[in-house]
């Protein structure tokens, strides 16, 4: 897709949904593509506009200091806040190798910070 | 029906600290130092959430390293910036103790930047001396948070709990006996018995469309205090940071990052027509380029926008194009690369900036021991109201977190001599548990009530309870906020308790809507313009309003009271 029609473009976020108890499933969310938008911006917009049950981690909101928003974007470990949205399809999944809690959230709380 | 208490986890601690930013961590350290056990909880990760880690600016303390200084001068500057509304005793405490805490952090190797004279101290708006220290370009907050996390981790009296959402304080006629909440990851309700509770989860700027907030700055502290029977103070005074980043979209950086560069390099603020305009609003006192206080700069930018002289996205231009490229590179260092990744080349383009909600001057009413009117309940940091009056000086937020945190922890520890553990008030616990279980029933409404309310609130607050206010807008906002609260009360979220962000959002909204109502009601009552509170219909400062407005919740309604001003202490 060239940048000439990017303003009319859409992004389809294919997002892994559910908890560890559920069979793996993916849900597609379609958003209007906007230049400069981050993956975290898009996830927050999805919660407000399409499905507030969508779960993902974030704390500092785009300052990239809390380091909480790490997920897999198209199979690569990325901060959702510093990864730009692209027109077309993007696959978002929780981090592998960590217990899955829900959707994009894995258990990343250090053991010494649990009750 | 879910059986009440079925999966309730009960835990006990001497002191519960809610919120693990700078104030909460300092409170925990002071209490532990006094030999008391502490549970330090945060809804994000301990030491990584809240406002402290976001701070990219400077920290004010009269150390006198760059030039002779005295805490009394810092105090005088603080009162002046506060436009006659500061609680002088709290302002004194902040300014007098700030150097102690800053030097303590130095001993803990936080890494304050140094010159050959000692700790580097620079000028910031509203200060009469070079008083503001920092760690590194844009790294003060993360360095401070990391330093405190290390100290906290070292202290075995402090039990850290991340991803715990405290939703209710449990109080009765004897005072505060603990709290109710739930663990996000486990999806489990928790009752915490404590001999003292410190609220250190201040901040509410997430209520506004344009903000510099982190996820958990949604007004929780103020809601908890009101529900426990404590009072709030100065809630109408939300500080708007004048030159927050507006466009183009900037990610991976805090939106308030421009300020130190503007100071260092003399960045120019221009309206949509490319004209300098600040001097039209501050009587020409801004000839040095960077002495105007935050409230005046905010007023100036938004006045230009209102007059049709704004930028495309509704702000002002910040321009560094007159600065030689070598100087830009030297000043911005590695930040230049981060900006390039965002498509920003300062040598050839200006950026758009706008006032954004940044800090809350108002907060929980406490004495100089950080005690509220509720026995056993304390507050610290941004959650506290009064020290900064109608407008906060640049650099006062971090020392406020340290100083008030330390005092709250120390004073709460003294209470251990008189306060024993007691059974949690059953009525309060049952009410909290009932509410929690009701939320987890399948939703009745077809539409997404939580998402809709979360989407509406920031715009409502920005448009009607924002930097410029009037009676009609405020009245409409109050009515709408009450209707939204009624709608929320009927909503449930369903879909299981484990990391249920709708459940968290329901509690976020409960706190945010009530806090928003408190801001709007106080803003309606204050029929004048002063500091961060600007009324279109009452544009002048009125001496009759040299009063603080206190707010309490009685029978679930907010009640306001105008208090006489407190006498200066120095």
Q: What is the dihedral of CA A51, B451, A57, A6, to 10 degrees?
A: 60
Does the structure show a pLDDT above 60 at A35? yes
pLDDT tens for B247-258 read 998 887 888 889
Burial of B520 (0-12, 13-18, 19+ CB in 10 A): buried
Task: Check if B190 contacts A (Cβ < 8 Å).
Answer: yes
Burial of B494 (0-12, 13-18, 19+ CB in 10 A): middle
pLDDT tens for B93-121 read 999 999 999 999 999 999 999 999 899 99
How many other C-beta atoms can be found within 10 angstroms of the C-beta atom of residue B465? 27
From chain A, the residues in CB contact with B11 under 8 A are: 115
Contact B448 A36 (CB under 8 A): no
pLDDT tens for B416-437 read 988 888 899 999 999 999 999 9
> What is the pLDDT, as a whole number, of residue B125?
82
Across chain B, what does the average pLDDT equal?
A: 93
> What is the pLDDT, as a whole number, of residue B1?
36
Task: Check if A84 contacts B (Cβ < 8 Å).
Answer: yes
Task: Check if A21 contacts B (Cβ < 8 Å).
Answer: no
Contact A109 B254 (CB under 8 A): no
Residue B39: beta bridge partners? B16, B159
> What is the pLDDT, as a whole number, of residue B3?
37
Does the structure show a pLDDT above 80 at B6? no
Least confidently predicted of A40-44, A46-50, A77-81, B290-294: B290-294
Does the structure show a pLDDT above 90 at B16? yes
| Residue B449 Cα to chain centre, angstroms | 27
Sign of the CA dihedral with B366 first, then B101, B36, and B186 last: positive
Does the structure show a pLDDT above 50 at B412? yes
Q: ipTM score of the complex?
A: 0.93
* Arithmetic mean of pLDDT, B373-399: 96
* Arithmetic mean of pLDDT, B141-153: 96
Sign of the CA dihedral with B291 first, then B252, A111, and A52 last: positive
Within the 477-536 window of chain B, which residues sit less than 8 Å (CB to CB) from chain A? 493, 495-496, 498-502, 505
pTM of the model as a whole: 0.95
Does the structure show a pLDDT above 70 at B43? yes
Half-sphere exposure of B41 (CA within 13 A, CB side): 30
From chain B, the residues in CB contact with A51 under 8 A are: 448, 451
B135: its two tokens = 């760690």
Say what percent of chain B tops pLDDT 90. Answer: 80
């Amino acid at each position: 897709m060239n940048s000439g029609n990017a303003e009319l473009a859409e992004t389809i976020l294919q997002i892994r949904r559910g908890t560890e108890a559920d069979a793996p499933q993916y849900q597609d969310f379609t958003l209007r593509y906007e230049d400069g938008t981050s993956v975290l911006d898009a996830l927050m917009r999805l919660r407000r506009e399409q499905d507030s049950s969508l779960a993902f981690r974030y704390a500092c909101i785009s300052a990239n200091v809390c380091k909480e928003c790490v997920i897999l974007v198209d199979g690569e470990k990325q901060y959702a806040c510093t990864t730009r949205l692209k027109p077309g399809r993007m696959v978002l999944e929780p981090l592998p190798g960590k217990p899955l809690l829900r959707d994009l959230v894995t258990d990343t709380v250090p053991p010494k910070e649990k009750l | 029906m879910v059986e009440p208490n079925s999966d309730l986890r009960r835990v006990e601690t001497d002191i519960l600290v809610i919120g693990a930013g700078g104030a909460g961590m300092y409170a925990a350290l002071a209490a532990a130092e006094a030999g008391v056990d502490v549970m330090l909880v945060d809804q994000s990760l301990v030491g990584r959430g809240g406002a402290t880690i976001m701070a990219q600016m400077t920290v004010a303390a009269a150390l006198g390293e760059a030039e002779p200084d005295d805490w009394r001068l810092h105090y005088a500057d603080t009162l002046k910036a506060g436009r006659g509304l500061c609680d002088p005793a709290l302002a004194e405490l902040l300014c007098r103790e700030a150097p102690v805490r800053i030097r303590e952090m130095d001993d803990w190797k936080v890494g304050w930047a140094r010159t050959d004279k000692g700790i580097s101290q620079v000028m910031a708006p509203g200060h009469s001396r070079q008083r503001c220290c920092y760690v590194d370009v844009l790294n003060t907050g993360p360095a401070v948070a990391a330093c405190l996390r290390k100290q906290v981790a070292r202290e075995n009296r402090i039990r850290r709990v991340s991803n715990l959402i405290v939703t209710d304080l449990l109080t009765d006629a004897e005072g505060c006996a603990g709290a109710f909440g739930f663990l996000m990851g486990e999806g489990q309700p928790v009752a915490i018995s404590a001999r003292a509770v410190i609220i250190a989860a201040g901040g509410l700027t997430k209520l506004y469309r344009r903000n510099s907030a982190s996820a958990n700055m949604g007004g929780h502290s103020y809601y908890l205090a009101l529900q426990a029977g404590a009072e709030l103070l100065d809630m109408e005074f939300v500080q708007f940071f004048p030159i927050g980043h507006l466009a183009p979209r900037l990610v991976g950086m805090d939106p308030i990052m421009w300020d130190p560069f503007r100071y260092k390099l003399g960045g120019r603020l221009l309206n949509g027509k490319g004209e300098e305009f600040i001097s039209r609003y501050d009587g020409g006192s801004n000839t040095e380029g960077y002495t105007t206080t935050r409230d005046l700069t905010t007023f100036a930018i938004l006045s230009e926008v209102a007059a049709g002289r704004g930028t495309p996205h509704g702000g002002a231009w910040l321009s560094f194009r007159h600065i030689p490229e070598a100087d830009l590179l030297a000043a911005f260092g590695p930040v230049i690369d981060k900006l390039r990744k965002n498509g920003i080349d300062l040598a050839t383009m200006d950026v758009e900036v706008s006032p954004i909600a940044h800090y809350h001057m108002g907060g929980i009413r406490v004495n100089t021991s950080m005690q509220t009117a509720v026995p056993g309940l304390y507050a610290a940091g941004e959650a506290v109201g009064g020290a900064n009056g109608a407008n906060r000086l640049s650099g006062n937020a971090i020392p406020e977190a340290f100083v008030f945190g330390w005092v709250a922890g120390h004073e709460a520890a003294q209470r251990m001599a008189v306060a024993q553990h007691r059974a949690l008030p059953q009525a309060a616990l049952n009410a909290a548990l009932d509410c929690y279980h009701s939320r987890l029933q399948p939703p009745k409404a077809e539409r997404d009530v939580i998402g809709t309310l979360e989407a509406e609130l920031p715009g409502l607050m920005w448009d009607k309870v924002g930097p410029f206010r009037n009676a009609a807008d405020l009245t409409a906002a109050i009515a709408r906020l009450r209707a939204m609260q009624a709608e929320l009360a009927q909503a449930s979220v369903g879909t299981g308790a484990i990391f249920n962000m709708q459940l968290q959002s329901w509690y976020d909204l409960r706190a945010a809507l009530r806090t928003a109502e408190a801001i709007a009601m106080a803003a309606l009552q204050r029929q004048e313009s002063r500091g961060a509170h600007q009324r279109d219909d009452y544009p002048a400062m009125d001496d009759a309003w040299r009063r603080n407005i206190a707010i309490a919740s009685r029978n679930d309604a907010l009640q306001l009271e105008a208090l006489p001003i407190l006498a200066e202490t120095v």
